[in-house]
């Protein structure tokens, strides 16, 4: 693998992109390629595989979109029904929509079509655009596999494959889906791979995906964004809502994203803010795609000044002019802190990141500070002295006693986070007893659904509620091999007991 350490290109003209792309870039008023762009675009244009270590906000979308558009623009072919030439995989619907918008912007002077494929909405329009033919498909893994299984998309003509935010894919449990998709890719292809971090599972997948890649690393050494003023406020759990109101109502020209740990608390916080006249919208995984998009648009267009979000839903959101990020709850994963605060201070602007730390959160605070390699200054004026936690609360979920020690006059111990990382990231409802029960039920349901999906893939049955609906009148039925929703239901009774769970697990690991 070659690690690129060449000089940074100063202008877009030096990148030798085709004229329609140069024009679109000029229209966007981009003057200088960002480091990821000036390092990735030249090698990607030479059709080399790329392993890019970069976060959102670094300009990485253009780093892969411009070479793809350049290649397809030069070829000037018409799109083929169901057979894209380029595929971009993204972890969330929001990110897929954003990437689609970037392709539309950069490719506006080219005659190329792109299609978006993501779950949570009807597949009808997506299938229609695939059947019309799209040069580029931008997809989330679950829906893509669903449509592949139904025969609405084939990857045999694929020339470029992009895997974006691989680390998030891993956190969200998409790796088995990704591996399945990779197995369907033609051997001769170009692959561009992007991840903010390089966990061992990520490295493993790069080995199977990339051939002699050029490594481009633009991860900042200190993981925290310099222009962002960070502070921590020690506050009791009960005091958080009042503190939030106080902070948000005392600022003019405010545009804030408030992060909570659970979906319930996102709803609760947004409701409380609205009640006191601070216009807020909540965005999380339980909301429908349309509701999420509406909330994002309202925030983007400044109809609401505050967006209350969970980590999973907020991933990759790129909204200019966010003045404040408030961590109402600290994230369980220190990496998520860096991603969260990066929602402010975009494109060199200044931003403020405020983190609430209550009794029992100090272990998480310590992990964050270890990652960003400095202590976050304490807002002494607004901080309270927290009570000494009970022995029980100094133990983490694993039961191991924490080594965390308090600071700034607070005495709470940290919690052991070992083993809680990625599980927690996928589980937004963890945190309360009720949340835990919901989580268990949800995990059980996901396992059962996954088992059904695996089975469906083999038998040709539709796996999701939506695709089930469509199968009744869709392709497989037309060919006489598919099952209708009602027959699928008959054959798949609701599994609830322990044995049923074991069966589901067994068929999942088949
Ligand atoms: P991304 O990391 O791809 O999400 O991009 C973050 C933001 O930077 C987006 O709003 C882009 O429009 C913007 N951007 C990308 N490349 C450039 C550039 N070369 N100059 C100025 N802004 C850029």
> d(Cα 92, Cα 313) in Å, to the nearest integer?
8
* pLDDT of 284 above 70: yes
Q: Whose CA is nearest to atom 21 of ligand 1?
A: 30
Take residue 146 and report the two structure tokens written for it: 């669903």
Determine which of 146-150, 267-271, 455-459 has the lowest per-residue pLDDT on average.
Answer: 455-459
Q: How far is the CA of 137 from the centre of ligand 1 (A)?
A: 21
Contact call for residues 387 and 417 (beta carbons, < 8 A): no
Q: Whose CA is nearest to atom 11 of ligand 1?
A: 59
Q: How far is the CA of 105 from the centre of ligand 1 (A)?
A: 12
Take residue 502 and report the two structure tokens written for it: 């074991």
Q: How far is the CA of 298 from the centre of ligand 1 (A)?
A: 22
Contact call for residues 326 and 382 (beta carbons, < 8 A): no
Is 406 close to ligand 1, i.e. is its CB under 6 Å away?
no
DSSP 313-377: HHTT---TT--EEEESS--SSHHHHHHHHTTSSGGG--EEEEEEE-TT-HHHHHHHHHHHTSPPP
> d(Cα 352, Cα 230) in Å, to the nearest integer?
6
Query: Span 228-428: which CATH code?
Result: 3.40.50.300
Is 278 close to ligand 1, i.e. is its CB under 6 Å away?
no
Rounded to the nearest integer, the mean pLDDT of the chain is: 76
Task: Write the pLDDT tens digit of every residue in 16-71.
Answer: 899 999 999 999 999 899 999 999 999 999 999 999 988 777 889 999 999 999 99
> d(Cα 135, Cα 80) in Å, to the nearest integer?
7
Take residue 454 and report the two structure tokens written for it: 């695996």
> d(Cα 283, Cα 290) in Å, to the nearest integer?
11
> d(Cα 427, Cα 6) in Å, to the nearest integer?
42
Task: Write the pLDDT tens digit of every residue in 321-351.
Answer: 889 999 999 998 887 888 788 788 665 557 8
Contact call for residues 368 and 376 (beta carbons, < 8 A): yes
3-state class (DSSP) for residue 384: coil
Is 318 close to ligand 1, i.e. is its CB under 6 Å away?
yes
| Interacting residues of 288 by C-beta distance below 8 A, sequence separation 6+ | 120, 121
> Which atom number of ligand 1 is nearest to the Cα of residue 55?
2
Hey, which of 8, 347, 349 would you mutate to test ligand 1's pocket, going by the most ligand atoms within 8 Å of its Cβ?
347
Burial profile 17-31: b = 16 or more Cβ within 10 angstroms, e = fewer = beebbbebbeeeebe
Contact call for residues 143 and 126 (beta carbons, < 8 A): yes
DSSP 268-294: HHHHHHHHTT--EEEE-TTS-HHHHHH
Identify the band that residue 444 occupies on the pLDDT scale cut at 50, 70 and 90. Answer: low
> d(Cα 415, Cα 357) in Å, to the nearest integer?
13
Question: Mean per-residue pLDDT for 214-230?
Answer: 71
pTM over 0.95: no
Hey, which of 27, 32, 61 would you mutate to test ligand 1's pocket, going by the most ligand atoms within 8 Å of its Cβ?
61
Measuring CA to CA, which residue among 335, 327, 281, 277 is closest to residue 303?
281
Is 150 close to ligand 1, i.e. is its CB under 6 Å away?
no
Q: How many CA atoms lie within 13 A of 333 on its CB side?
A: 23
Q: Whose CA is nearest to atom 15 of ligand 1?
A: 59
Angle between helix 60-75 and 35-45 (nearest 10)? 30
Q: Kindly indicate whether the domain formed by 2-217 is annotated with CATH number 3.40.50.2300.
A: no
| Predicted local distance difference test score (pLDDT) of residue 38 | 92
* pLDDT of 387 above 60: yes
Is 268 close to ligand 1, i.e. is its CB under 6 Å away?
no
Q: How far is the CA of 192 from the centre of ligand 1 (A)?
A: 18
Is 55 close to ligand 1, i.e. is its CB under 6 Å away?
no
Take residue 278 and report the two structure tokens written for it: 């601070």
- For 426, other C-beta atoms within 10 Å of its C-beta total 17
Is 347 close to ligand 1, i.e. is its CB under 6 Å away?
yes
Hey, which of 32, 34, 98 would you mutate to test ligand 1's pocket, going by the most ligand atoms within 8 Å of its Cβ?
34
Measuring CA to CA, which residue among 245, 163, 246 is closest to residue 206?
163
Q: How far is the CA of 387 from the centre of ligand 1 (A)?
A: 45
Is 34 close to ligand 1, i.e. is its CB under 6 Å away?
yes
> d(Cα 125, Cα 116) in Å, to the nearest integer?
9
Is 57 close to ligand 1, i.e. is its CB under 6 Å away?
yes
Question: Mean per-residue pLDDT for 467-491?
Answer: 29
Take residue 248 and report the two structure tokens written for it: 């948000």
Q: Checking phi first, is residue 212 left (phi over 0); if not, alpha (psi -120 to 50) or beta?
A: left
Q: How far is the CA of 57 from the centre of ligand 1 (A)?
A: 6
Is 62 close to ligand 1, i.e. is its CB under 6 Å away?
yes
CATH 3.40.50.300 range(s) for the chain read: 2-217, 228-428
Task: Write the pLDDT tens digit of every residue in 157-211.
Answer: 999 999 999 988 877 778 899 999 999 999 999 999 998 877 777 888 898 899 9
Terminus-to-terminus CA distance in the chain, angstroms? 35
Long-range contacts of 426-432 (CB under 8 A, 24+ apart): 426/171, 426/172, 426/173, 426/312, 428/261, 428/262, 428/263, 428/284, 428/285, 428/310, 428/311, 428/312, 429/262, 429/263, 429/264, 430/261, 430/262, 431/261, 431/262, 431/265, 431/329, 432/262, 432/264
């Amino acid at each position: 693998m070659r690690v690129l350490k060449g000089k940074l290109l100063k202008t877009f003209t030096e990148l030798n992109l085709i004229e329609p792309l140069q024009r679109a870039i000029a229209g966007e008023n981009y003057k200088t390629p960002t480091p990821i762009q000036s390092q990735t675009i030249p090698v990607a244009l030479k059709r080399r595989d790329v392993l890019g270590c970069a976060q959102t906000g670094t300009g990485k979308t253009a780093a892969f979109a411009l070479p793809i558009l350049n290649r397809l623009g030069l070829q000037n072919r018409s799109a083929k029904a169901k057979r894209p030439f380029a595929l971009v995989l993204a972890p969330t619907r929001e990110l897929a929509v954003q990437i689609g918008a970037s392709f539309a912007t950069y490719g506006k002077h080219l005659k190329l079509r792109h299609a978006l494929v993501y779950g949570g909405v009807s597949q009808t329009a997506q299938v229609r655009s695939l059947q019309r033919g799209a040069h580029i498909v931008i997809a989330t893994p679950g829906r893509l596999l669903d449509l592949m299984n139904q025969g609405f998309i084939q990857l045999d003509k694929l020339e470029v494959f992009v895997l974006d935010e691989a680390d998030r894919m891993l956190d969200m449990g998409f790796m088995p889906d990704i591996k399945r998709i990779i197995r369907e890719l033609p051997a001769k292809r170009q692959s561009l791979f992007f991840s903010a971090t390089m966990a061992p599972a990520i490295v493993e997948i790069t080995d199977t995906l990339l051939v002699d890649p050029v490594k481009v690393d633009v991860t900042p050494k200190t993981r925290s964004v310099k222009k962002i003023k960070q502070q921590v406020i020690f506050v009791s759990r009960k005091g958080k809502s009042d503190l939030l109101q106080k902070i948000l109502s005392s600022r003019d020209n405010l545009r804030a994203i408030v992060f909570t740990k659970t979906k319930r608390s996102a709803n609760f916080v947004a409701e409380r803010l609205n009640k006191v006249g601070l216009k807020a919208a909540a965005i999380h995984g339980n909301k429908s795609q349309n509701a999420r998009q509406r909330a994002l648009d309202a925030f983007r267009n400044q109809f609401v000044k505050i967006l209350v979000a969970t980590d999973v839903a907020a991933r990759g959101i790129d909204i200019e002019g966010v003045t404040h990020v408030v961590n109402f709850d600290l994230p369980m994963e220190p990496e998520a802190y860096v991603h969260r605060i990066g929602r402010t201070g975009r494109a060199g602007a200044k931003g403020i990141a405020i983190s609430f730390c209550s009794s029992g959160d100090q272990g998480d605070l310590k992990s964050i500070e270890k990652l960003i390699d400095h202590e976050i200054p304490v807002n002494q004026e607004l901080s309270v002295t927290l009570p000494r936690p009970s022995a029980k609360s100094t133990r983490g979920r694993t039961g191991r006693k924490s080594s965390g020690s308090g600071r700034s006059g607070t005495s709470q111990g940290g919690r052991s986070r070992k083993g809680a990382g990625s599980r927690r990231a996928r589980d937004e409802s963890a945190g309360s007893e009720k949340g835990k029960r919901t989580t268990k039920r949800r995990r059980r349901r996901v396992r059962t659904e996954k088992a059904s999906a695996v089975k469906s893939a083999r038998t040709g049955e539709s796996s999701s509620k939506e695709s089930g609906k469509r199968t009744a009148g869709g392709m497989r039925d037309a060919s006489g091999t598919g099952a209708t929703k009602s027959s699928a239901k008959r054959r798949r009774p609701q599994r609830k007991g322990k044995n049923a769970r074991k069966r589901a697990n067994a068929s999942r690991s088949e």
